[in-house]
Chain A
Amino acid sequence: DADVTQTPRNRITKTGKRIMLECSQTKGHDRMYWYRQDPGLGLRLIYYSFDVKDINKGEISDGYSVSRQAQAKFSLSLESAIPNQTALYFCATSDFSGTGQETQYFGPGTRLLVL
């Protein structure tokens, strides 16, 4: 979905390096998410943010941090990358309407390889 963009699309880094993955959205959504996807597994939630001042840990937040710089921007950092953080990372936004339905819209993903 072109409304949610991620940079970089691919990244190779070395163990111990700090890296940042960036996500921008033009959908005007308050809620943003970071997930990782591993082969044979479902998406797992790393962090989520319901608005600029609200940051919450997800299922697998250890080793990651996030920053919500603006409504449209949500970045994910790996403070000291390790090989088992090699994965496909997705950013998502949602249009929570308060009616009990929340559809998430995903970016194209960032493929990260940690050597």
Chain B
Amino acid sequence: GESVGLHLPTLSVQEGDNSIINCAYSNSASDYFIWYKQESGKGPQFIIDIRSNMDKRQGQRVTVLLNKTVKHLSLQIAATQPGDSAVYFCAEGYNNNDMRFGAGTRLTVKP
């Protein structure tokens, strides 16, 4: 299988439950944030983004929350499905010139 993320934090949830994946970012000046999903053997895939002038953004089954006070970002996945199993990582950007990526969290969905 995919060797990426051998030592990543893991989250295991039951199918149908909601998942919350957290990310602490480093630069208080970062103004743009993205969540990516990376399935085994594939490249990262854009899920949802949020700008620093927002604290919440919703997509289809996903919600991103941004807390700038504590430099924390979370991704909520509603009604988690087996196809959601992947590594999820956040990215922070500043002034369009520098994107930094977190190592990620491995989500496993149990049927």
Where chain A touches its partner, the secondary structure class is loop
| Stretch from A12-20, A76-84, A102-110 at the B interface | A102-110
Q: Across the interface, do B3 and A4 meet the contact criterion of CB distance under 8 Å?
A: no
A39→B91 CA distance, assembly (Å): 17
Interface residues on B, range: 20 to 34
Q: Quick one: CB contact mask for A32-46 with B, threshold 8 Å, 1 for yes?
A: 000101011111110
Q: Across the interface, do A106 and B32 meet the contact criterion of CB distance under 8 Å?
A: no
Residues of B within 8 A of A52 (CB): none
Q: Across the interface, do A39 and B6 meet the contact criterion of CB distance under 8 Å?
A: yes
Q: Across the interface, do A104 and B99 meet the contact criterion of CB distance under 8 Å?
A: yes
A35→B45 CA distance, assembly (Å): 14
Q: Across the interface, do A42 and B100 meet the contact criterion of CB distance under 8 Å?
A: yes
B84 to chain A, nearest CB (A): 18
Q: Does B4 contact A (CB under 8 A)?
A: yes
Residues of A within 8 A of B99 (CB): 45, 102, 104
Most buried by A among B31, B41, B44, B102: B44
Interface residues of B (CB under 8 A from A): 3-8, 31-32, 34, 36, 41-46, 49, 51, 89, 91, 93, 96, 99-104
6 closest A-B pairs by CB = A106-B43, A42-B101, A40-B7, A43-B101, A39-B6, A106-B44
